[in-house]
């Protein structure tokens, strides 16, 4: 087995052991020599595996070559778990649709909560400004071939503004870790100017719903908007 592949295998196994609490925060990992014997690997492969874990923030390599497990925050846990999952899975349409379904679930709940939040004014103002920016992009670029991507970037900010208000830390962390991959593929979608104008109108109605605290309207609109995008994803070529 190639050195790099072996070190990746060792790092992956140690990472899972750390995340499963087989090695707790503050505890030292076995020595490089012990792990080299256990994994039937060279000391160099074990050393590279330790470096990989340190880059992820899971361990600290202290003086004297002692490797100590760090306290892992929820965000670090989710990020590491998501990274491992996506490395092991082929990015195909079913996975993309699953990611989008997670987004729909999280954003629908976040929208419901935000519409009832008495302190929602700041976030609603932020979303209103994003919609104004989207309108300006279309108005200033009537014949540009790139305006669609610029509007999509603004829309990503709009949805992120909603999701940052969600009070479920676990699902929010999952979204933060997986959304870059999702938006990478969403940028492959193409829109006509008429489609973008319709979407901007829907977002404007959504802002109004948030402002007025009409929860049923907000939930209905966010589902219409997200399911419309999901339908485009379903015909995306891979």
Is residue 151 within 8 A of residue 131, CB to CB? The reply is: no
Domain count within the chain: 2
Let me know whether 220 and 185 are in one domain: yes
Is residue 227 within 8 A of residue 101, CB to CB? The reply is: no
- Report the CATH number that the domain containing residue 160 is assigned in CATH: 1.20.120.530
Reply yes or no on whether the pLDDT at 237 is more than 90.
Answer: no
Let me know whether 198 and 225 are in one domain: yes
Number of CB atoms found within 10 A of residue 55's CB? 10
Number of CB atoms found within 10 A of residue 107's CB? 21
Reply yes or no on whether the pLDDT at 180 is more than 90.
Answer: no
- Report the CATH number that the domain containing residue 7 is assigned in CATH: 1.10.10.10
Domain with 68 in it: 3-72
* pLDDT single digits (tens) 38-87: 999 999 999 999 988 888 788 888 766 689 888 665 555 556 655 655 55
Reply yes or no on whether the pLDDT at 90 is more than 70.
Answer: no
Let me know whether 126 and 193 are in one domain: yes
Arithmetic mean of pLDDT, 105-125: 92
d(CA 15, CA 49): 10
Q: What is the pLDDT of residue 136?
A: 93
* pLDDT single digits (tens) 125-160: 999 999 999 999 988 876 655 677 888 899 999 998
């Amino acid at each position: 087995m190639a050195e790099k592949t072996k070190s990746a295998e060792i790092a992956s196994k140690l990472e899972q052991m750390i995340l499963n609490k087989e090695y707790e925060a503050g505890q030292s990992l076995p020595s490089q020599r012990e792990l080299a014997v256990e994994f039937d690997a060279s000391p160099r492969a074990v050393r590279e595996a330790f470096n990989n874990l340190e880059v992820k923030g899971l361990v600290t390599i202290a003086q004297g070559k002692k490797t100590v497990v760090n306290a892992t925050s929820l965000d670090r846990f989710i990020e590491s778990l998501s990274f491992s999952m996506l490395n092991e899975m082929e990015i195909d349409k079913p996975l993309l649709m699953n990611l989008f379904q997670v987004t729909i679930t999280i954003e629908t709940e976040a929208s419901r909560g935000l519409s009832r939040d008495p302190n929602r004014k700041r976030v609603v103002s932020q979303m209103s400004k994003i919609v104004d920016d989207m309108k300006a992009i279309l108005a200033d670029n009537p014949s540009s071939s790139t305006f669609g991507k610029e509007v999509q970037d603004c829309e990503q900010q709009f949805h992120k503004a909603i999701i940052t208000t969600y009070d479920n830390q676990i699902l929010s962390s999952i979204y933060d870790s997986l959304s870059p991959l999702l938006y990478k593929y969403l940028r492959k979608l193409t829109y006509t100017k008429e489609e973008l104008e319709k979407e901007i109108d829907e977002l404007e109605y959504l802002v109004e719903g948030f402002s007025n605290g009409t929860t049923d309207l907000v939930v209905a609109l966010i589902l219409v908007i997200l399911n419309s995008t999901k339908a485009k994803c379903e015909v995306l070529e891979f």
